[in-house]
Each structure stands twice: as C-alpha cells, then as structure tokens.
Amino acid sequence: MDISPIDLINIESFAKRVIHLFEYRKSLQEYLRSKMGQVAPNLANLIGEQVGARLIAHAGSLTNLAKYPASTIQILGAEKALFRALKTKGNTPKYGLIYHSSHIGKASAQNKGRISRYLANKCAIASRIDCFSDIPTAIFGDHLKQQVSDRLNFFDSGKLPAKNVDVMQIALQEAEVEREQIISKERKRKKKEKKRRKQALAAASLDAEQKNAVMLDVTV
C-alpha cells in the first residue's frame, strides 16, 4: 500500500521531532555530566550522573545530602512508602532513588536490600568528600565503586573484599598525588599569567613613552 502525501508529511514531521528530542536529551546528558563532574565527581562516579543529580535535587543541595546519614540516603525518594508503612505497621521500604543505580540491578533479589544499605553508606561518604573537598577529585568515587562491585562479588562467590581502611589509604595517597599535580599546574598557570601581564604593561609603558617623545618632538 502506497503512503499518501499527507501521511508522508506527518511521518517526516514526527521523525524530525524524534531526532530533535534525541539531540536535546543528548545535550542535557552532556550538560549533566559536565556539572556533576564539577560539583560531585565522586558521587557521579559511584552511582552515575543521573541518580546522583536526583539525590542532590531531592535533598535540596549537596550540603544537605552530605549531612544525611546513610539510612536516610537509602530511602531518599521513598518517603510516602515509608510513612505508609509506619502508619499501617507494615514493612518499610529498602531503597528509594538509589534503586535506579546499576549496582542494585546487578544484585540478586535476596541481596538487593543488603547492597542498597551498603551503597547508601558509600554514597554518604562520597557526598561528604565532594562537599568538603577544596580541590575536586574523582579518585575516591572510583575506589568506592570498586568496593561496591567487590561486595556484590562477595555476596555471589563469598570472596572477601579488601578492608575499607586499606582502600581509603590507597585512595588518599592517589588523591594527594593528584592534588599536588593540580596545585603545580595552577602555580605554573598563575606564573605565566603574571608574566603575560608584566609584558603587556611593559609594552603599554613603552608605547606611552614613544608617544610622549613624538609629542615633545612636534612641540619643539
């Protein structure tokens, strides 16, 4: 059956709209990735940009999220279900917004509650590091994400993961190295900027002197 001209126009219009929406969504994702990389790189690395942004938005700010205990972060976004459970004396929810994390999806049904509690604990650590760090770094988020993956493997295979103290010690050392590199680059940048300003001032001063000399010659 041939497509009528009117149907073809509608199909082209809908196709263009779908492409436009796809490009708009892609630009939003890039914007979110960029902003989360600046504001909360560790939380973004741990739980993803979208879920991390939802947690921050639901809490009101990164500072508010950093003040929450892990138990609150675990059920953040499931307040209605929590109050309903408390009112009816039923089972309280095991997770809220963090349910959309890929880590929860990888866990088996019997381990979803356990991994959500563990993930909420790591989210609390990541948000506090992001909130109170002078120089943003994503190193802690990488190590925290690996800890969650190791915990999932532990639930499945029984292989003991590395101790949190040891992992954080390694992360601190790596973060310190990165911090020194960033400070060194910033010093070099400021030095170059200062040198550039000096050269610009010297050139402006020389130009002014030459103009004054020309004016004096003309006057004489």
What is the domain partition of the chain in residue ranges? 13-161, 167-220
- pLDDT score, position 217: 65
Fold of 13-161: Serum Albumin; Chain A, Domain 1 (1.10.246)
d(CA 62, CA 67) in angstroms, rounded, equals 9
- pLDDT score, position 188: 85
* Contacts of residue 104, Cβ cutoff 8 Å, sequence gap at least 6: 95, 98, 112, 115, 116, 119
- pLDDT score, position 36: 92
d(CA 38, CA 169) in angstroms, rounded, equals 24
* Tokens linked to 150: 């190791």
- pLDDT score, position 1: 59
d(CA 26, CA 23) in angstroms, rounded, equals 5
- pLDDT score, position 216: 65
- pLDDT score, position 206: 75
- What pTM did the predictor assign? 0.77
* Contacts of residue 186, Cβ cutoff 8 Å, sequence gap at least 6: none
> What burial class does residue 15 get, using C-beta atoms within 10 Å of its C-beta: 0-12 exposed, 13-18 middle, 19+ buried?
exposed
Under-50 pLDDT residues of the chain: none
- pLDDT score, position 218: 62
- pLDDT score, position 143: 93
Note the helical H segments in 76-136.
Answer: 79-88, 102-106, 112-132
